C-alpha cells in the first residue's frame, strides 16, 4: 500500500470554510462523498459537498483540494456550480454513515460509527483508512469506550442497515438554520430522511417543513404517524400549515384536522376557505396582539421572545378582547421603534397608529403587494367588515408568494454557470 501523506477526519471537516488560492472563501464543507466497495479495497473518496451562497450545495471533486489545514481547506479556484445530486453508488459520510452499527471482525463486538478518517495516497487518491467507533451506544452524547480501528477491521460498513439512529447527523445540524437543514434533508435517500425526521424535535421539524417545497412537505408528512403529523401542524405557522393541508386530499386533511386542538383546527379551516393568493390565504393568524390597557413594558416583553419571527416582532397590534383572531374591534398598530422611545408604564392605546393601511381578507395578492410597496410596510393587518383583526400579512409572506412556486428548487442560468474565484471565464470540471 502506498504511503499516506495527508489525513483528515470528516466529522471535524463539516462546517469548515473552504478557500480559493487567493484566500477568498468559496463556501463551507457540509459532507464528504465516498464509494463503498465490496472487493476488499478501501472505500474511495470522490469529493466534498460544499455549501456556497446562497444556500446551494455543490459537488467539489477531491482532485480540486490542494491543502488541508487546521480550520480551513484550500481548493483550486475553478468550481462547477451545478447543484449536487448524489449517485446511487455514492454515500454521504455525515448524512448517511455516522451512527451506523458495525461489527469488529476479530471480536464480534457491535460498535457505532462516530467519525471517519480519510487519507491521501502518493497517487493523489483519497481513501477511507480509519474508523472512530464507540462501544455501547450511538451518537456523540452517548457514553461508552471509544477506539480507532482500521477500516478493514470492521464489517457492515457497506451493508444497508434496517434501522439507524441519526444522533450524529442531528448534532451537525444543531447550529444550522432551518432553510439549510431543509436543503440537506431533500438530498438524503428516503430511508435516511425518515430516520432524521424521527430524531428531530417537533419545533425544529415544523420550522424545516416551512422551508421545503410543497411536494417535499407532503412526502415528509406522509412519513409521520397521524399523531405526530398533527403535532407538527400545530407547531407550524398557521398559514404554512393551511397551505400544507391544501396540498393533501380532502379526506386526509380532514383526518389530521380532527386530531388537532379544536381552536387550532378552527383557525386552519378558516384559512382554507380563502383563495391561496388572497390576503386571507397568505396571512398569519398569530401576530402579537395586546389589549388597550397593556403597557410598553408588556409589549416589549412579548416581542423579545426569541421564537418570534422578526417580521412579527416589528410591531404589535392593539385590539379589544378577545385577543385571539378574530379579535374584538381593531384599534391600530404600535411600531417597536416607538415602544423603545416611551416609558415602560405608558399604555399602548396612547401610541397606536390608527392610520395604518389594512386590507379585506379577499384582497388579491397584487393589491397586497401594492400596499407594501406604496407605504414601505413590514406587516399589513387583515380586517373584516366589522373591524375585527383576522390576521397579518408580513413582508416575508409577500416575498414567498411573489416568487415562482418552485423557487426553492429552480436555479437561474447565472448560478448554473461555472464560477472562477477571480470571476473570469474558464472551464469547469467535468466530473
Which tens digit of pLDDT belongs to each residue from 239-268?
899 999 999 999 999 999 999 999 899 999
C-alpha cell at 301: 416583553
Confidence of residue 12 (pLDDT cuts 50, 70, 90): confident
Q: What is the DSSP string of 56-103?
A: EEEEEEGGGEEEEETTEEEE-SEE--SBP---TTEEEIIIIITT-EEE
What's this model's pTM, rounded to 2 decimal places? 0.71
| 129-158: pLDDT as tens digits | 999 999 875 444 456 789 999 999 988 887
- What is the structure's pLDDT at 288? 97
How far is 142 from 167, CA to CA, in rounded Å?
9
| 186-243: pLDDT as tens digits | 878 888 888 899 899 999 999 999 989 888 999 999 999 999 999 999 999 998 999 9
Confidence of residue 408 (pLDDT cuts 50, 70, 90): low
Give the H or E element holding residue 5.
Answer: none
pLDDT of 425 higher than 70: no
- What is the structure's pLDDT at 160? 59
Q: Please identify which residue in the block is written with the cell numbers 495527508.
A: 6
Domains and CATH numbers, the chain: 1-155 (2.30.30.240), 167-280 (1.25.60.10), 289-401 (3.10.580.10)
Q: Torsion over CA of 291, 294, 300 and 302, rounded to 10 degrees?
A: -50
C-alpha cell at 315: 410591531
- What is the structure's pLDDT at 208? 94
Handedness of CA 81, 82, 83, 84 (dihedral sign): negative
Q: What is the DSSP string of 106-143?
A: TT--EEEEEEEEEEE-TTS-EEEEEEEEEES--STTS-
Q: What is the DSSP string of 330-377?
A: EEEEEEHHHHHHS-TT-BGGGT-BTT---B-TT-BHHHHHHHHHHHT-
C-alpha cell at 195: 430516520
Confidence of residue 384 (pLDDT cuts 50, 70, 90): very high
Beta strand 110-120 with 101-104 is: antiparallel
Extended strands (E) in 144-204: 146-150, 154-155
Q: Please identify which residue in the block is written with the cell numbers 403535532.
A: 231
Amino acid at each position: 500500500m502506498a504511503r499516506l501523506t495527508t489525513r483528515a477526519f470528516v466529522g471535524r471537516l463539516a462546517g469548515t470554510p473552504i478557500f480559493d488560492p487567493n484566500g477568498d472563501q468559496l463556501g463551507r464543507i457540509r459532507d464528504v462523498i465516498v464509494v463503498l466497495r465490496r472487493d476488499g479495497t478501501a472505500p474511495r473518496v470522490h469529493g466534498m459537498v460544499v455549501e456556497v451562497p446562497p444556500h446551494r450545495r455543490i459537488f467539489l471533486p477531491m482532485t480540486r483540494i490542494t491543502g488541508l489545514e487546521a480550520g480551513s481547506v484550500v481548493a483550486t479556484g475553478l468550481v462547477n456550480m451545478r447543484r449536487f445530486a448524489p449517485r446511487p453508488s455514492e454515500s454521504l459520510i455525515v448524512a448517511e454513515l455516522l451512527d451506523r452499527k458495525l461489527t469488529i471482525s476479530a471480536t464480534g463486538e457491535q460498535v457505532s460509527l462516530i467519525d471517519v478518517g480519510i487519507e491521501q495516497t502518493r497517487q493523489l487518491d483519497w481513501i477511507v483508512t480509519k474508523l472512530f467507533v464507540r462501544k455501547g451506544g450511538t451518537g456523540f452524547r452517548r457514553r461508552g469506550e471509544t477506539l480507532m480501528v482500521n477500516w478493514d477491521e470492521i464489517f457492515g460498513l457497506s451493508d444497508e442497515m434496517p434501522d439507524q439512529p441519526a444522533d450524529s447527523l442531528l448534532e451537525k445540524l444543531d447550529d444550522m438554520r432551518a432553510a439549510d437543514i431543509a436543503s440537506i434533508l431533500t438530498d438524503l435517500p428516503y430511508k435516511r430522511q425518515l430516520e432524521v425526521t424521527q430524531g428531530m424535535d417537533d419545533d425544529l421539524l415544523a420550522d424545516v417543513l416551512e422551508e421545503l417545497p410543497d411536494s417535499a412537505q407532503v412526502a415528509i408528512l406522509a412519513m409521520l404517524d397521524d399523531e405526530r403529523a398533527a403535532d407538527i401542524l400545530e407547531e407550524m405557522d398557521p398559514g404554512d400549515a393551511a397551505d400544507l393541508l391544501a396540498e393533501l386530499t380532502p379526506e386526509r386533511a380532514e383526518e389530521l384536522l380532527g386530531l388537532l386542538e379544536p381552536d387550532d383546527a378552527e383557525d386552519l379551516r378558516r384559512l382554507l376557505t380563502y383563495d391561496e393568493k388572497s390576503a386571507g390565504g397568505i396571512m398569519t393568524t398569530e401576530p402579537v396582539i395586546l389589549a388597550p390597557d397593556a403597557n410598553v413594558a408588556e409589549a416589549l416583553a412579548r416581542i423579545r421572545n426569541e421564537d418570534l419571527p422578526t417580521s412579527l416582532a416589528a410591531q404589535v397590534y392593539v385590539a379589544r378582547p378577545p385577543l385571539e383572531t378574530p379579535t374584538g374591534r381593531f384599534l391600530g398598530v404600535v411600531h417597536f421603534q416607538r415602544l423603545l422611545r416611551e416609558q415602560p408604564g405608558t399604555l399602548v392605546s396612547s401610541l397606536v397608529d390608527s392610520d395604518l393601511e389594512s386590507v379585506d381578507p379577499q384582497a388579491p395578492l397584487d393589491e397586497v403587494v401594492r400596499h407594501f410597496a406604496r407605504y414601505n410596510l413590514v406587516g399589513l393587518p387583515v380586517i373584516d367588515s366589522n373591524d375585527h383583526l383576522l390576521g397579518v400579512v408580513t413582508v416575508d409572506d409577500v416575498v414567498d408568494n411573489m416568487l415562482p412556486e418552485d423557487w426553492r428548487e429552480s436555479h437561474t442560468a447565472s448560478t448554473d454557470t461555472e464560477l472562477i474565484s477571480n470571476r473570469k471565464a474558464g472551464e469547469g470540471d467535468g466530473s
